[in-house]
Structure 1
Amino acid sequence: MYYWSSHSKETTTQPVQRGIGKSLFFLLICFAWLFPGLVGHEPWKPDEAYTFGLVNHIFKNGDWIVPTLAGEPFMEKPPLFYITAAAFAKVFSNWLPLHDAARLTSGFFMGLALFFTGMSGRELYGRGKGLLSVLALISCLGLLIRAHELITDLALLAGIAMALYGLALSLRRHIIGGILLGTGTGISFMSKGLIGPGMIGITVLLLPILFQPWRNRFYLQTLIIAFAAALPWLVIWPLALYQRSPALFMEWFWTNNLGRFLGFAGLGPKSETAGYLKMLPWFAWPALPLAIWTLWQEKRNLFKRPELHLPLTAFLVMFGVLSSASDAREVYAIPMLLPLACLAAASIDTLRRGATNALYWFGVMVFTFFGCVIWFYWIAVELGIPAGLSAHLKDLQPGYTPVFSWFVFSVGLIYTAGWLATLVRTKRSKERPIIIWATGMTLVWGLLMSLFISWLDAGKSYRSTIYSLTQAIPAHIGCIASQGLGEPQRAMLDYYANIITQRAELGKGAECDLMLTQGGVDNTVSLSPDWQQIWEGNRPGDKSERYRLFQRPASVK
């Protein structure tokens, strides 16, 4: 049996390994990075709003087979994330608003992704490198906002992280490795369909083709076990969906999986040439340059280093598959950060002194500057100093009323003090730059989600707009038709007001006395002269969306 004896090797990460205090420090960073933003705000457009609409349906009706948005089947993704979020909502809704309770699911899946990334780093490169892998991951710019949103991509991320750890473990402990590989593959499938298992499957096939250490019977046994572990995830829900409705099954499988990837369905934002290649330098900073340094250092021994084969192959497969897809979004690139973080951890203790110092001081200056800017803007928002900036920020969010909170102020001070303490107490070492980048990301996110979360929520929430709409609805109205209304808006109408509109785009609502339209500043939705506008509104500070409510006399129906 071939395996790398990473756990028996001494590494140069002594500042990381020494004592429980260091591990607790890293756990504190992870918690301080992970928790802010999970609670304390309404579902935000676009992804959170429509995702919560699907969660809300399962919470109210218990139907986990057909994902449903505002009364209509929504077959874009399998329901694992929605089911889990509904369960979190059931458990925690007595203490939190329903949407906040559901959003704890994001923290759960992101926590799993961090855990398995750390375990992969430790398995591949030895003690201490798992913590560095996690720090490299949370340092990435592209992950910061998405890691705290109510989105299914985080369940996909957790599943792929688990599968990669199963592969890393497979040459040493093939039974548990196979179970983790299969379970992670199943979770990725139940999160976003075929894309996750596709990328994992190609990686699994390429490893023994390209690299000799993976060509053995233990690896084959791992794959057999993985197939058995994945099978229930791959079969139960699709079979239940097909039994419920073959038409909905085909809509999910053919249109929303193959159709989106190949482009014949005409769904989703179109990819641009070399889009991910252009995006990765900022999206994966600082993990990407550190990963490149690892490969450059080992370029002559690359085929002899099995601990590099897995993350390198996984990254190239993900990059190739995502780049060849017809539709593309930056959120789709999140899984690529997992192998990059592992590769980055492998090279940190080999960085030259000049590069270490440059990365460290760049991080210190960047995050100290942005920390000061956030505090300066908060003073302008809450205290009105300086007056010009305060007036500008008020114009951006006219729905926000400044209210000084000692709790919010104290949380901001705690994050700032933590940053300053890290600067003072972190001793010079090879690991110091990645510690600073992870702590700096935590500082910026913690300050934004404590000092500015209410200010941001005032403009991103649909609650006040929908409340204004409900006040304008005449009494004794049987139904409301809609035209041009997006998925997030329909979901929030159902959540806040229990209103499910009859969509004119589907040929419904001809008998309704009211019509709700969504358009731009100019009314781009054309209706017959019989309709008379009785209400107009928008989210505070939103200059792109306008909602208009029309009524027509019963005599002209």
Structure 2
Amino acid sequence: MLTYVPPTERETPVIPNQRPWLLLLLCLVWLLPGLVGHDPWKPAELETAAVVKRFVDEGYWVLPRFADVAYLEFAPLYYWSAAIVAWPLSRLGMDIHDAGRLVTGLWMALSLWGIGLAGRELYGRRQGRVAVMALIGCVGLIIWGHQLAPQVLLVAAFSWHTYALAHSTRRPLIAGALLGLAWLVLLLGATWGEFLLALASAVLLLVFRPWRRAVYLTALVTALVISLPLAAVWALWLHQFSPAAFQAWWRFDALGPFGGLGSLQLFHSFGFFISTVAWFAWPALPLAAWGVWSNRRQWSGPAIVLPASMAALMAVWLACAGEVRDYSLLPLLIPLSLLATAGIDGLRRGAAAALNWFGLMTFGVGTLGLWLCWVALHFGVPPRLYAWVNGMNPDHVPSMAVPGLLFAAVLSVVWWRVITRKRPLGRLAVTNWACGVTLLWGVLIGLWQPWLDETKSYREASVSLERKMAGEPGSCIDASTAPDAMVVSLDYFTGLQLRRVGIDACRWQLRQGPPRDGEKVIWEGGRRGDQRDEMFYLLDKGATRQVLP
């Protein structure tokens, strides 16, 4: 229940002595689970894994591609960094996707470092760690912070972008260099759309007094001098390497959610942004709203102006975009987490207690459910729960992974110890929420990673098709109508020759969905646990009759 307490009777929150290594440990436990030990998962990891494999094997790093088509939804910086790490580790026996996924952990570590510095710069000592916990507690970051996917660069770039802006009035040259590097990450690793958003948020600050100074202009000029010429190198390189690919990128992908300069897209389906941000940015969103309201007398100060103007501009940008996906909201998590930091110590006791209780119940019950389902799957009790879990993947053969089991058990015990610690109630709620997110993700990966791998990986289906085609060396497969996920999986896991253009010379055709009368089927398969809804067929285009294997 929300109750009003007069300011004279409110308790002044006493910030206890905090050990930085505990925050580092929490970040590590949040970061590491799920980075290695599983195949590329649908939907986003397959394309990235295939691109990185092409870079490692072929060495042509200018054009991201899989099969025989370019993949230019994002610029290549993430693929470059993943290939740099994967090249030596793959020669030591590590899978390319596991080695590449370690880069996601490194970029996320940079993100947490950047937002921690921004929180300390804006709100003072001991506040940066609150910003870090608010960020890792966001529901939408759980998946994207652990995937083999370039979207993680959005979080890293905007974390350091925000820190550089907060730091720009004190040390303009250093801040300008950091700002330029952050913009370079967006230009070389995301799209020009995100860069223009960052540039607009920086220019917007000129309206406010703390940044209406010549030193701030020095920082902006320094950033532009660093970022634009280096980013132009890749664009010119791509144009020289493949003018057709450059034209496709320029026309359709250069502006990200807004399409390209040849096909500008505006205003996506109404309601998607509002409905998505409600859960994607939880609990930073309501805490940010409270942070703005509780500091309404300091709205003109840098601590509120910077993140609030960024959040408002990003909201308008997302509302006007023509194609918005959930990962498009990743940059918004940065200013919302900082605004949450601004009001966390002044959070009303009733609201803080409600958030704390909701977090404990949500993650406690969720973790208990994961344990109960795991026990049912491995020991068959209770029978009804076993039948339900087993029905989702009947082909799964339970095997007890001792390291994962021990990790999940230790994490559960440590979580119980953490939630019993006494802290100021606002910080307690944020800390417990971040620990709860870490617990649920860690237990999910520790107990269920083998099961998830079977249901989300296309490896078995791809290898099965390759065996079937072993007697047809050099034959190409028409994949023009097949879904991207299966095509990319075949390109990554096999050496089959796939084509999406110039398909007339291909005798075989890969297609999803039941074959028609008169078509000859030489192979069929799909992901384990999903073969009822997603089956693939290899057809002989030259045959006129259907022969089932």
The answer to whether the 8 Å contact 1:65/1:237 transfers is yes
- Using the alignment, how far apart are the partners of 1:165 and 1:329 within structure 2? 26
The answer to whether the 8 Å contact 1:490/1:500 transfers is no
Flag structure 1 segments of 5+ consecutive residues without an equivalent: 1-11
- Using the alignment, how far apart are the partners of 1:416 and 1:267 within structure 2? 49
Shift of 1:392: 2.1
- SS of the residue 1:150 aligns to: coil
Structure 2 residue 534 is matched with structure 1 residue 545: yes
For residue 108 of structure 2, the aligned residue among 107, 110, 123 is 110
For residues 499-549 of structure 1, give each alpha carbon's deviation from its aligned partner in whole angstroms, at most 9, with x where no partner exists. Answer: 13123xx3x232333222123xx44xx69x4x4111111111213321101
- SS of the residue 1:550 aligns to: strand
The answer to whether the 8 Å contact 2:267/2:320 transfers is no
Shift of 1:428: 4.7
Structure 2 residue 410 is matched with structure 1 residue 402: no
2:442 maps to what in 1?
A: 446
- Using the alignment, how far apart are the partners of 1:398 and 1:87 within structure 2? 39
Structure 2 residue 512 is matched with structure 1 residue 512: no
- Using the alignment, how far apart are the partners of 1:260 and 1:297 within structure 2? 34
> 1:554 and 1:269, CA in 2 relative to 1: closer, same or farther beyond 3 A?
farther
> 1:233 and 1:161, CA in 2 relative to 1: closer, same or farther beyond 3 A?
farther
1:3 maps to what in 2?
A: none
Aligned residues: 531
RMSD in angstroms over aligned alpha carbons? 2.3
Shift of 1:553: 5.6
TM-score (structure 1 length as normaliser): 0.91
Alignment of 1:152-231 (within 5 A): 152-209=150-207, 211-231=208-228
- Using the alignment, how far apart are the partners of 2:393 and 2:50 within structure 1? 25
Relative to structure 2, which stretch is displaced further, 265-274 or 334-343? 265-274
Which contiguous aligned blocks of 4+ residues in structure 1 show a shift greater than 4 angstroms?
262-270, 552-556
> 1:262 and 1:70, CA in 2 relative to 1: closer, same or farther beyond 3 A?
closer
- Using the alignment, how far apart are the partners of 2:209 and 2:386 within structure 1? 63
Amino acid at match of 2:165: L
> 1:270 and 1:497, CA in 2 relative to 1: closer, same or farther beyond 3 A?
farther
- SS of the residue 1:534 aligns to: strand
TM-score (structure 2 length as normaliser): 0.92
For residues 362-421 of structure 1, give each alpha carbon's deviation from its aligned partner in whole angstroms, at most 9, with x where no partner exists. Answer: 212222111111110111122221122212222211332101232221111111011011
The answer to whether the 8 Å contact 1:89/1:98 transfers is yes
Shift of 1:441: 0.3
The answer to whether the 8 Å contact 1:260/1:266 transfers is no
Shift of 1:280: 1.7
Shift of 1:28: 0.9
For residue 132 of structure 1, the aligned residue among 130, 139, 145 is 130
Relative to structure 2, which stretch is displaced further, 251-260 or 224-233? 251-260
Amino acid at match of 2:284: A
The answer to whether the 8 Å contact 2:250/2:262 transfers is no
The answer to whether the 8 Å contact 2:266/2:320 transfers is no
Shift of 1:481: 2.2
- Using the alignment, how far apart are the partners of 2:454 and 2:124 within structure 1? 47
1:536 maps to what in 2?
A: 524
Structure 2 residue 368 is matched with structure 1 residue 380: no
2:331 maps to what in 1?
A: 335
1:4 maps to what in 2?
A: none
- SS of the residue 1:148 aligns to: coil
> 1:498 and 1:266, CA in 2 relative to 1: closer, same or farther beyond 3 A?
farther
2:8 maps to what in 1?
A: none
For residues 151-206 of structure 1, give each alpha carbon's deviation from its aligned partner in whole angstroms, at most 9, with x where no partner exists. Answer: 11101221121111111110111111101111101101111111221111111111
Flag structure 2 segments of 5+ consecutive residues without an equivalent: 1-11
- Using the alignment, how far apart are the partners of 1:148 and 1:299 within structure 2? 36
Shift of 1:101: 0.6
Relative to structure 2, which stretch is displaced further, 41-50 or 540-549? 540-549
- SS of the residue 1:343 aligns to: helix
Structure 2 residue 83 is matched with structure 1 residue 86: yes
Alignment of 1:422-441 (within 5 A): 422-441=418-437
1:365 maps to what in 2?
A: 361
- Using the alignment, how far apart are the partners of 1:155 and 1:263 within structure 2? 20
> 1:95 and 1:33, CA in 2 relative to 1: closer, same or farther beyond 3 A?
farther
For residues 297-324 of structure 1, give each alpha carbon's deviation from its aligned partner in whole angstroms, at most 9, with x where no partner exists. Answer: 1224312x12211111111111111221
> 1:103 and 1:240, CA in 2 relative to 1: closer, same or farther beyond 3 A?
same
The answer to whether the 8 Å contact 1:15/1:429 transfers is no
- Using the alignment, how far apart are the partners of 1:308 and 1:498 within structure 2? 54
- Using the alignment, how far apart are the partners of 1:270 and 1:549 within structure 2? 39
The answer to whether the 8 Å contact 1:275/1:323 transfers is no
- Using the alignment, how far apart are the partners of 1:59 and 1:262 within structure 2? 29
Relative to structure 2, which stretch is displaced further, 252-261 or 493-502? 252-261
Amino acid at match of 1:144: I
1:411 maps to what in 2?
A: 407
- Using the alignment, how far apart are the partners of 1:541 and 1:267 within structure 2? 40
